[in-house]
Chain A
């Protein structure tokens, strides 16, 4: 008789706890993978596809599934460092050449108004219409270079964004290392 009571108590406990867990899994369900969001927050959102994925989010998903972290040239070495810190992986040198920040410029004299670059721009930073001159909104341009290949007349070029007084940064204080004066031997 005792054994039956014990089994009944254990079974009741299992049912109650199971119900509690089931409730919690519905009530506190996390939408999406929080890790992917954290990775995506580090990626520079240029949507350039240089990593081989069609945008920053797909690359973030791929990283979460084990893809290398050094495939994002716009993020630079610092981006790799931050991803490594987040994921506890080893820092690797960037898989491409690191470039300074750039902006695309359309040569107004050559543009034929074909709208191909408008379709290619991932962030809608080009305005224009068929047979009208196109222009790039410099502030919105991420410098992804995706508009360069579709242009049939090669009227788009990239320009490095020069430092100005507003974007200038104070430099890291340099510690001067001087040779100690050599003492004359007595």
Chain B
């Protein structure tokens, strides 16, 4: 099956260092002494914890509930007791804490009742819902909740589905081993995605340095009876980047600020397909993943590791050399040194590399940029890193955006080729996070301004309303007074009643004043009457018609209230004595 492949621009060929860890089959890592499961393991909302310290949990039991649509659930990786729901250092370059569920395993590794289903009997919505509940996220590194990518676009027909088995980064072999040993389940998982998205073609891209994996996948595709195409792509870092692999396999170039779905292409990692199949057909949520342990160790190998396993315990399995001085999570190109060795394995952890100065000699000091343009030639996104570097360094962030800094995938090709050894990606990360922070601040300021202006508007409006009300009331009062005065004047002119006979009848003016006073008095009297009536109406009525028990209970409460000194003692006591 010959296929016309395309090329992406740039790319580098670092030493792959993959052979060390593919010699042995996947092994299950033993149960660690305790598991620290971070709640926020995917892009999107942070799951809410649904367990507390002291709870017994079973393997696969829900411990964090998905918060919103773009969020995926988190589950207990083994059976045991929840020791704490507390802050713990994260495998994140910041070294900051986030909320984790700490579980002490009981050693039984007892599953919840798993409910395998035939997904063909479910509606697409139900399948997506199940994937979300099972915590299936993209295991290629971005950990985007998979169900969010499985809704076919209404406007663009789905042309190709690209399955990413390229695994371009040096040292990492977990996808390679997964495809070699569990190809059939990967293929069945791809089948689920295919049925949900209905693409015209399914392309599985595997770098040509993994012929065994490609062979195993071809055999599995045949065995399952699917028509997926397994394509060997040239080994060139970063061929495993989603946009690069799409380019290589389909020739489509995803433009800046657009997504691949706009061109009718969707991309999934092979490990994601595997976990999706386990979740649907076996009812097993994502509680473990394959992790390559390699680098400065005696026995590099791939392990099936429970999420939450402390990295230092895991590294011991491969017996690191004594000069190991740190752990790199991810590959040497995009990975980072974890802030402390005890941080947990998360869904994004595909590889741990024992770091030593022998393996990764410290970089010589940075030299000035000579504008040689090597970085621009190596950039797989056709950016101009030397320009972005200059503006990032000068903190001229507007300019960096003009040079499309947000299209940078931080693959590290530019830093790799830079003859001046400038840590270009670090500058870009710095610029990106500064721009995001400013964006957040700007939004907050805009919102504050809007709220401030609304408050002022509201205060003005209330003032105006109050003034209007007062004016209206005054006008009504004046009108009423005038009417009464007129009435009184009329009465004064007529033969006076007996009570007012003492007043000189012809004097109209004083009698009008008297009438006014009387009218005022009468209104006050009426208002007092009204208030009294209202007060009586407001008296509690629930003490009438009580049953004997209720009466007793009420009395008891009253006596307690009195003894606690909550009520002035006279009234209730007197009432009771009567």
Contacts and interface: CB of A to CB of B under 8 A. Distances in A.
Given A173-B426, A178-B365, A140 B447 contact: yes
B448 A142 contact: yes
Given A44-B445, A164-B98, A165-B98, A170 B433 contact: yes
Q: How large is the interface on A (under 10, 10 to 19, 20 to 34, 35 or more residues)?
A: 20 to 34
Interface in B356-383: 365-366
A46 B445 CA distance: 7
Interface in B403-453: 423, 426-427, 429-430, 432-434, 437, 440-441, 444-449, 451-452
B37 to A, nearest CB: 16
A164 B89 CA distance: 11
A175 interface: yes
Interface of A is mostly: loop
Nearest to A43: B445
Interface string A120-134: 001111000000000
Contacts of B440: 167
Top 5 nearest A-B pairs (CB, nearest first) are A45-B445, A123-B451, A168-B94, A170-B429, A169-B433
A2 interface: no
Contacts, number: 68
Contacts of A123: 448, 451-452, 455
B98 A55 contact: no
Given A167-B437, A170-B430, A176-B365, A45 B92 contact: no
Q: How large is the interface on B (under 10, 10 to 19, 20 to 34, 35 or more residues)?
A: 20 to 34
A43 B449 CA distance: 10
A103 B20 CA distance: 52
Contact of A165 (B96, B427, B429, B452): B96
B263 to A, nearest CB: 31
A28 interface: no
B94 A56 contact: no
Nearest to B458: A124
B266 interface: no
A124 B432 CA distance: 32
B69 interface: no
A165 B91 CA distance: 11
A79 to B, nearest CB: 11
19 contacts: A44-B441, A45-B444, A45-B446, A46-B448, A47-B448, A123-B451, A123-B452, A163-B96, A165-B40, A165-B98, A168-B433, A169-B430, A169-B434, A170-B426, A170-B429, A170-B432, A173-B426, A173-B430, A178-B365
Interface in B336-394: 365-366
Interface of A: 40, 43-47, 55-56, 122-125, 140, 142, 163-165, 167-173, 175-176, 178
B396 to A, nearest CB: 12
A56 B440 CA distance: 19
A47 B430 contact: no
Contacts of B449: 40, 45, 56
Given A47-B452, A165-B96, A165-B98, A171 B445 contact: no
Nearest to B441: A44
A138 to B, nearest CB: 11
Contacts of A124: 451, 454-455
Nearest to A125: B451
A40 B433 CA distance: 24
B426 A140 contact: no
Given A164-B96, A168-B94, A55 B452 contact: yes
Contacts of B81: none
Contacts of A122: 452, 455
A122 B458 CA distance: 12
B90 interface: yes
Nearest to B46: A166
B369 to A, nearest CB: 12
